[in-house]
């Protein structure tokens, strides 16, 4: 038995005694410590890309403040430093040699130079392909209202890359602190478009940001943090920013409002748009200050073009009435179902039907752009049929529950009578018992 145990230990390399185990552990620890020592003191330290670039960059001796701004930028992380934009030779320690002819030194570039310098990398397929970034940004900028003013008119007051993305501290557009992150973009545009003196020279309003903030889109962005909602770039474009023309308004809005666009093309207004007499979406909804569309919009907008006594105005009034009634009916039905659930009535089927009614209600939103009473009326009837059915079922269940409650009254009365009778009987038995006990004692 002892031989077998020794053989097992030799096979598994198990030490034969405690001292051997301790020696093995000490040896292993010493080996690990030796490896760590070699790593710490003999393996050369590799500084971060930005730090390595800083050591080779003589510009930092004078411009340390700019380097502090740039250290956290997306460019410094890719070893893109001062000379890539400003030219010069950062390897030269002498300032004159660093800025000498032939080094490409330009110092502070003007706005036209900024666009071209950014384009040296951002318009290069070979450079940008690795990062998955589009390379048509410079080409788009040159077609924009900003680009045309800068390149054709030499207007240095217009926005260029650095006005939107920043200068030395450029960060990724997906970073929530980026000035062009969706939540920050309107405020970035407002730096110029909110400047009253600057906008006066171009004949533009300077209150667009305030108007947008109060719109249905602005509230969705700032209150609900909905990054998918329309903002400046979603409608005007980013690098190719240009106000959409009258004929393009519907296409711009239609990128998000697909069904609204589809039904509008079937409406009487579609022909007027083709003839240039109707500005599609903005005629009724406006643009920067778009409010939530409701039945009241018909009274406020249609009267601008249609006489109140006209047949057309009566048609839209009928549509507005259907929309208003539908909304009130849905809300009333929802409250009825909620109250029934509180009362202990099972309303799972009714809640499912209510969701179906809400689906039809959502369908009417885009459908109303067709301005066809009969087609809108068909969907309205479906909503009314469903809500009437829900109301009928809930009231029936409520009545049934009430009758069940009434049916319990006789039962409670019977129980009460039985309890009283038992109590009386108990008292009689106790009295008889006491009398019997008194007789025995006597």
Alpha carbon 160 to its chain centroid, in Å, reads 27
Residue 408 — very low, low, confident or very high, per pLDDT cuts 50/70/90?
confident
Average pLDDT over residues 70-82: 90
Domains of the chain by residue range: 2-41, 311-399
Residue 427 has pLDDT above 90, yes or no: no
Average pLDDT over residues 182-199: 97
Residue 26 — very low, low, confident or very high, per pLDDT cuts 50/70/90?
low
Share of residues in the chain with pLDDT > 90 (%): 57
What lies within 8 Å, CB to CB, of 86 at 6+ separation is 59, 105, 106, 107, 108, 109
Average pLDDT over residues 106-119: 93
What confidence tens digit (pLDDT) does each residue in 151-167 have?
999 999 999 999 999 99
Q: Are 100 and 94 in contact (CB under 8 A)?
A: no
What lies within 8 Å, CB to CB, of 110 at 6+ separation is 156
Residue 198 has pLDDT above 80, yes or no: yes
What lies within 8 Å, CB to CB, of 146 at 6+ separation is 158, 159, 160, 241
Q: Are 370 and 364 in contact (CB under 8 A)?
A: no
Q: What is the pLDDT of residue 215?
A: 95
Mean pLDDT of the chain: 86
Average pLDDT over residues 336-355: 93
Helix, strand, or coil (residue 179): coil
Q: Report CA-CA distances (Å) from 133 to 16, 130, 172, 221.
A: 65, 8, 11, 26
């Amino acid at each position: 038995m002892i031989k077998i145990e020794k053989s097992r230990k030799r096979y598994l390399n198990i030490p034969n005694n405690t001292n051997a185990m301790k020696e093995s552990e000490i040896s292993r620890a010493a080996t690990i410590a030796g490896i760590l020592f070699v790593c710490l003191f003999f393996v050369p330290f590799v500084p971060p890309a930005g730090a390595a670039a800083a050591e080779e960059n003589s510009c930092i001796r004078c411009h340390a403040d700019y380097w502090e701004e740039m250290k956290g930028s997306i460019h410094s992380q890719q070893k893109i430093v001062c000379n890539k934009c400003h030219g010069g030779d950062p390897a030269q320690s002498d300032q004159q040699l660093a800025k000498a002819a032939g080094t490409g030194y330009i110092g502070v570039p003007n706005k036209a130079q900024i666009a071209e310098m950014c384009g040296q990398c951002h318009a290069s397929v070979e450079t940008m392909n690795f990062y998955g970034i589009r390379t048509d940004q410079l080409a788009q900028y040159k077609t924009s209202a900003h680009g045309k003013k800068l390149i054709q008119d030499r207007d240095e007051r217009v926005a260029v890359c650095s006005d939107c993305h920043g200068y030395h501290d450029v960060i990724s557009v997906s970073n929530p602190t980026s000035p062009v992150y969706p939540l920050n973009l309107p405020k970035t545009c407002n730096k110029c478009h909110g400047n009253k003196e600057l906008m006066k020279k171009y004949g533009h309003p300077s209150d667009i940001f305030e108007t947008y903030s109060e719109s249905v889109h602005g509230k969705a962005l700032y209150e609900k943090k909905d990054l998918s909602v329309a903002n400046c770039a979603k409608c005007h474009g980013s690098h190719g920013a240009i106000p959409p023309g009258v004929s393009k308004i519907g296409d711009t809005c239609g990128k998000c409002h697909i069904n609204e666009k589809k039904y509008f093309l079937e409406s009487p207004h579609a022909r007027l748009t083709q003839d240039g007499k109707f500005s599609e979406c903005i005629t009724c909804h406006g643009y920067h200050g778009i409010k939530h569309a409701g039945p009241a919009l018909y009274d406020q907008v249609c009267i601008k073009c249609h006489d109140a006594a006209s047949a057309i105005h009566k048609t839209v009034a009928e549509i507005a009435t259907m929309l208003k009634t539908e909304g009130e009916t849905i809300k009333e039905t929802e409250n009825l179902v909620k109250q029934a659930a509180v009362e202990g009535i099972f309303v799972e089927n009714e809640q499912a039907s209510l969701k179906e009614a809400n689906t039809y209600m959502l369908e009417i939103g885009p459908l109303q752009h067709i301005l066809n009473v009969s087609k809108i009326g068909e969907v309205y009837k479906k909503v009314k049929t469903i809500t009437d059915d829900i109301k009928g079922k809930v009231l029936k269940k409520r009545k049934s529950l009430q009758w069940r409650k009434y049916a319990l009254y006789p039962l409670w009365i019977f129980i009460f009578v039985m309890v009283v009778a038992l109590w009386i009987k108990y008292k009689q038995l106790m009295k008889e018992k006491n009398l019997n006990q008194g007789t025995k004692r006597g």
